[in-house]
Amino acid sequence: MIKPRTPPGIMELLPRDQIAFQRMLDTIRRSFEGFGFLPIETPVFELSEVLLTKSGGETERQVYFAQSTGALEKASDGPPELALRFDLTVPLARYVAEHEHELAFPFRRYQMQRVYRGERAQRGRFREFYQCDIDVIGKDALSPRHDAEIPAVISAVFEALDIGDFTIQFNHRKLLRGYFEGQGIAADAQVPVLREIDKLDKRGEDAVRATLSGEGFGLASGVIDRLMAFSRVRSKGHADALARLDALGDGTPLFEEGREELREVLRRLQALGVPESRYALNLSIARGLDYYTGIVYETTLDAHPGIGSICSGGRYDNLASHYTKSRLPGVGISIGLTRLFWQLREAGLIETADSSVDVLVTLFDDAGLDHALGLSQQLRGAGLNVETQLEPRKLARQFQYADRAGIRFVVVRGEDEAAKGLVAVKDLRRGEQFEVADADLARTLLVEREQWRALGKSAG
C-alpha cells in the first residue's frame, strides 16, 4: 500500500475550493477578453535550448527538466532536452517569434496556465502555480497609449473579482533613470541604485541609505536625500497625480519623456473611466527585473498591504531578441493566481463557494426514478446544473447532502405532489419551500437563480 499524497509545494483543492478558484479564473478570463485579448496556450515543456537562453539567472536555477524513460536510459552529457516553463513570458517570446508572420500586430494575447519553479519548500511558496498574463506586443514600435489600457484591465479584473478595494500603483523607469541622471548618477550605476531603492520597503530607509553612501555607490548625502524624497512620492487622486508630476521640476530629456508618458497614461485612464481611487503614482516602485524600460505597475489590496503586489508588470523594449531580429516592444502584467488564492483564503477573504450544482432532484423510491431522470433532463435543457439522486435514501439524508455540498435547490416529489402534478422545491439559501407545476419548474428556478445573483452583486 502506497501513501497517497502530492509532492510538496503543490496547492491541490477540494471541489468546493476548486469551484471558487475556477470562478476566479473565469472572471479574469472574461475581463481579459472584454479588452480584446486573444487566448493562447503553450506546451508545459519547451526545448531546454530554447527556454534557457540566459544562463545563471536565479529563476533558471529553479528550472525543472523533463525526460522520457527512454531518454533517461540513454546516458547523456548535456542537460535534458526538455524543461518546464518557469513563467509565461519566455514561452510568449518563443511563440511570437515562431509565428511572427502569422500574427497581426499589435498582438494582444492572454494566457492562463501553470508554471513550474523548484522553490525551496516553504509555506505559501508553490512549485506549481497559475499565472494569468496579458501582453500587447508591437512590431518595431508600440504607442504608450497601450500602457494606459493595462491599468484599465487590472481595474476591471479586480472589480469583477470583488476581493476588496485595491490600488494600481505605477512609476516609470525613464522618469526614475532620468531623475538619477539629473543627480549625476552614471548610467551604469543606475540599475544597481534602482535595485537598492527597490528594497526600501523590505530593508527600511536606514539600511538602504547606508548601502548607497557606502563603498561601491558612494553617493553624497544630499543626493541620497533627494532620491529618498523622490521615492516617497505617492499621489492620491487624479489631479494630485498630475500636480506631483509637475512638482518634480525640470529634468533631463529622458526624465521629461517618462513624465510625458505618465501624463498620457493619466489622461487616458480618465477617458477610460477608471475611478481615480483605483490608481496612484508611487515613485518607489522599480520592479527588480532589468528588462522593464518604461511604465511599471504594482497592485495592492488597500486593506491587506501585507499581501504585497497581486498584479505586476510593465513596459519592455524588446521581447524576443534571442529568437528574432525583429524588434518587438511590449507591455504586460501577470497575476499569480495560485498564491493570491492561497493568501486570500489564509486571510479569510474567500467564502466557501456554492456548488456548481444548482439543483438536487431527490428520489423517494425506485418507482420515481424515471420521473426524476426526465425532470432532471428538462432542467438541464433550461441551462441548470442538476444532480439526480439515483438510489432512494432517507429524505433527511438527501437534504443534508445538498446542504453540505452547497447545492441551493432540492426538488422533492412525494405521493401528494405527484397526485397534483407538482413538485416541492426547498430553497436552502433562502430557507423557503414552495410548490410548482412540473412544467414551470425550470423557469421558476432560473428566475430565482438570476435574482439571487443580482442580489449578491449589489450586496457585495
CB of 117 to a second copy, least distance (A): 9
Nearer to a second copy, 73 or 250 (CB): 73
Q: Are 192 and 211 in contact (CB under 8 A)?
A: no
What is the nearest approach in angstroms of a second copy to the Cβ of residue 37? 8
Give dist(CA 77, CA 51) in Å, integer.
Answer: 18
Nearer of residues 229 and 390 to a second copy, judged by Cβ: 390
Is 147 flagged in the annotation as binding? no
Judged by CB, which is closer to a second copy: 77, or 250?
77
CA 298 to CA 171: how far, in whole Å? 9
- Does residue 25 have a known ligand-binding role? no
CA dist list (Å): 58 to 117, 125, 283: 10, 16, 26
In the complex, least distance from residue 372 CB atom to a second copy, rounded to whole angstroms: 8
Is 354 assigned to a binding site? no
Name the minimum Å distance from CB 93 to a second copy: 8
Q: Is 351 exposed, middle or buried (0-12, 13-18, 19+ CB in 10 A)?
A: exposed
Secondary structure letter of residue 290 according to DSSP: T
Residue 167: what are its φ and ψ, rounded to 5°? -130, 130
Judged by beta carbon, residue 7 or residue 249, the one nearer a second copy is 7
The distance of closest approach from Cβ of residue 189 to a second copy in the complex, given in angstroms and rounded to an integer, is 31
In order, the DSSP letters of 182-218 are HTT--HHHHHHHHHHHHTHHHH-HHHHHHHHHSTTT-
307 three-state secondary structure: helix
Q: What CA–CA distances, in Å, run from 56 to 62, 93, 199?
A: 10, 19, 22
Question: Least Å distance between CB 78 and a second copy?
Answer: 11
Specify the residue, 115 or 200, whose C-beta has the smaller distance to a second copy: 115
Taking the complex as a whole, the smallest distance from the CB of residue 440 to a second copy amounts, in Å, to: 19
Is the Cβ of residue 175 or residue 384 nearer to a second copy in the bound state?
Answer: 384
CB of 190 to a second copy, least distance (A): 28
Cell of 376: 432532471
Q: Quick check: 287 and 332 in contact, CB under 8 A?
A: no
Burial class (CB in 10 A: 0-12, 13-18, 19+), 188: exposed
**Residue 391: all three cell numbers together:** 438510489
Least distance to a second copy, CB of residue 99, Å: 6
Q: Between 7 and 431, name the residue whose CB sits nearer to a second copy.
A: 7
269 is in an annotated binding site: no
The answer to whether the annotation marks 291 as part of a ligand binding site is: yes
Chain mean position to CA 336: 5
Q: Exposure of 206 by Cβ count < 10 A (0-12 exposed, 13-18 middle, 19+ buried)? A: exposed
Nearer to a second copy, 58 or 188 (CB): 58
Question: How many angstroms separate the CA atoms of 151 and 272, rounded?
Answer: 10
C-alpha cell at 340: 493570491
89 annotated to bind ligand: yes
CA distance 182 to 254: 10
Please indicate if the annotation marks 287 as binding a ligand.
Answer: yes
Residue 126 vs 230, nearer CB to a second copy: 126
Binding site for L-histidine, by residue number, is: 87-89, 117, 131, 135, 287, 291-292
Name the binding residues: 87-89, 117, 131, 135, 287, 291-292
